[in-house]
Amino acid sequence: MSSIVIVGAGISGLCCAYYLHKSGHDVSIYESSKTGHECSYGNAGLIVPSHFETLANPGILKKGFKWMLNPNSPFFLKPRFDMDLIKWLIKFNMFCSKKHVNDNKYFLRDINLYSLSLYKDLQKSEDLEFSLKQNGLLMLCQEEKTLEEEKKLVHEAQELSLDAKILSMDEIKKLEANVSFNALGASYFKNDAILQPYDFMMSIKKYLQDNNVKIHENCEIEDVNIQNNKIVSISSKNDSISADNFVFTAGISTYKFAKKLNLNLSMEAGKGFSFKVDKKPSLDFTSPLILAEQKVAVSPYDSYVRFGGTMMLSGQDLSLNERRINNITKAANSYINNLDIKKEDRTDLWAGLRPCSPDGLPFIGKDKSIKNLFVATGHAMMGVSLGPATGKIICDLVNNSQCDLDISKMDINRF
């Protein structure tokens, strides 16, 4: 079997390493910071077959300019002159069509269900130890207009054979008897599941290290050496690293290698924020929530709840934005009765950069020109949801095996 270098130790990189190691390859990982501390860390931890609509969709286009120029909106564009951003926005606008959504909804359903089945296999294996709960997902709606939109989405989900329905407030109370929500109703997607991303990543890390997979942390890759349409080596500040195959899974940071690799990975960093609040009586529920109008995800765990959201196109700035965090707090307090989160209640404040493609589909595949180059990035908000699927697909491609899914829509050379 071959030697393989993976650049990036987020959930995609770790899942790639796991499946490649299991199939007999000599794997090593290089991470610019600490394992699992970048974009995957503060993710809501949702596995979402319900998210069969691409990020580029007519609903976003309809609200687009109103949202993008409002710093309090769920989707905000921080004005800046950047030709790459302008090109990305033009492409994104082109893909905001019903046809685009319809062309890709079966694929997004299938890859999320595939990833969920792989998660379940991993949970049953003796290799990893993590908690996965299939508690469904509630999309709480405060406005009649939003509830009507959710009814249409539920109908589409049912046509895709997903278990989905609209719940009245009485039905929500039967599902979550210990809490009270300020809403008109909700859509409920029973197929969806939740895990704690960091715990999952640390479980894979432990397995890899116990099985002699080297993980090099705080090791930033600075250059790529290509000869005769093949990567010969990559280099950090102190080392030149050779291997038979190279897998780039470094999230938005993969973009910086794209020009060197002659790849047009059109991506923008969608900045998101999250924080934790300790469990209290008003948070005694088990179903993950999305607060529909504000696009805030609420992920309940045993001892705390993580609140996260917003999509802020502001370049690669990782600073915490108090306004955005306050907006998430305000939304949570508005939808969950008797909650009243105060500033001192919020812990583990986090900001991360989600790699967003203009068509809302990941880049996962093998390059057509550089024969030993593999890429997995562009997952936007579905990085955790698609972690195992990403790893298994990359493993199949390295092994020249037939993938379980048709992955042509994720072609890394499509732009």
* pLDDT digits 0-9 by tens, 220-260: 999 999 999 999 999 998 899 999 999 999 999 999 898 88
Beta strands in 65-212 (DSSP E): 75-77, 132-133, 137-141, 164-167, 185-189, 193-195
Pairwise CA distance, residues 409 & 232, whole Å: 29
Query: How confident is the model over 360-377, as a mean pLDDT?
Result: 97
CB atoms within 10 A of CB 115: 26
Helix 197-210, helix 11-22: angle, nearest 10: 40
pLDDT score, position 168: 98
Helical H runs in 248-348? 255-258, 322-335
* pLDDT digits 0-9 by tens, 126-146: 999 999 999 999 999 999 999
Residue pair 301/347 in contact by the 8 Å Cβ criterion: no
* pLDDT digits 0-9 by tens, 346-361: 999 999 999 999 999 9
- Please give the distance of CA 37 from its chain centroid, rounded to a whole number: 14
pLDDT score, position 68: 63
pLDDT score, position 310: 82
Q: Tell me the backbone φ, ψ of residue 88, rounded to 5 degrees.
A: -65, -45
Query: How confident is the model over 201-221, as a mean pLDDT?
Result: 97
Three-class SS state of 341: coil
Top-confidence residue, 310 or 173: 173
- Please give the distance of CA 386 from its chain centroid, rounded to a whole number: 7
pLDDT score, position 57: 85
pLDDT score, position 62: 64
Query: How confident is the model over 285-291, as a mean pLDDT?
Result: 98
Mode of pairing for the β-strands spanning 193-195 and 46-47: antiparallel
Contacts of 2 (CB under 8 A, 6+ apart): 25, 26, 243, 244, 245, 398
The two tokens of residue 152 are: 């249409």
**Which one, of 41, 46, 10, lies nearest residue 300 by Cα?**
46
* Residue 116 pLDDT greater than 80, yes or no: yes
Range in 64-68, 91-95, 190-194 with the lowest mean pLDDT: 64-68
Q: Tell me the backbone φ, ψ of residue 258, rounded to 5 degrees.
A: -60, -45
pLDDT score, position 301: 97
Percent of the chain residues topping a pLDDT of 70: 97
* Residue 95 pLDDT greater than 70, yes or no: yes
* pLDDT digits 0-9 by tens, 311-342: 888 788 888 889 899 999 999 999 999 999 99
Pairwise CA distance, residues 139 & 288, whole Å: 9
* pLDDT digits 0-9 by tens, 28-78: 999 999 998 887 888 999 999 999 999 888 877 666 556 666 667 777 777
* Residue 155 pLDDT greater than 80, yes or no: yes
CA R_g for the chain: 21
Beta strands in 287-399 (DSSP E): 289-291, 296-300, 304-313, 347-356, 363-366, 373-377
Say if domain 3-41+199-266+360-410 classifies as CATH 3.50.50.60: yes
Top-confidence residue, 401 or 70: 401
The two tokens of residue 149 are: 């939109």
Query: Can you identify the CATH homologous superfamily of domain 55-97+133-192+268-356?
Result: D-Amino Acid Oxidase, subunit A, domain 2 (3.30.9.10)
Domain residue ranges in the chain: 3-41+199-266+360-410, 55-97+133-192+268-356
Pairwise CA distance, residues 186 & 164, whole Å: 11
pLDDT score, position 37: 84
pLDDT score, position 40: 83
Residue pair 267/89 in contact by the 8 Å Cβ criterion: no
Spatial strand order in the sheet of 132-133: 46-47, 193-195, 132-133
Three-class SS state of 253: helix
Side-chain half-sphere exposure of 286, counting CA atoms within 13 A: 11
Which residue(s) pair with 306 in the sheet?
Answer: 276, 299
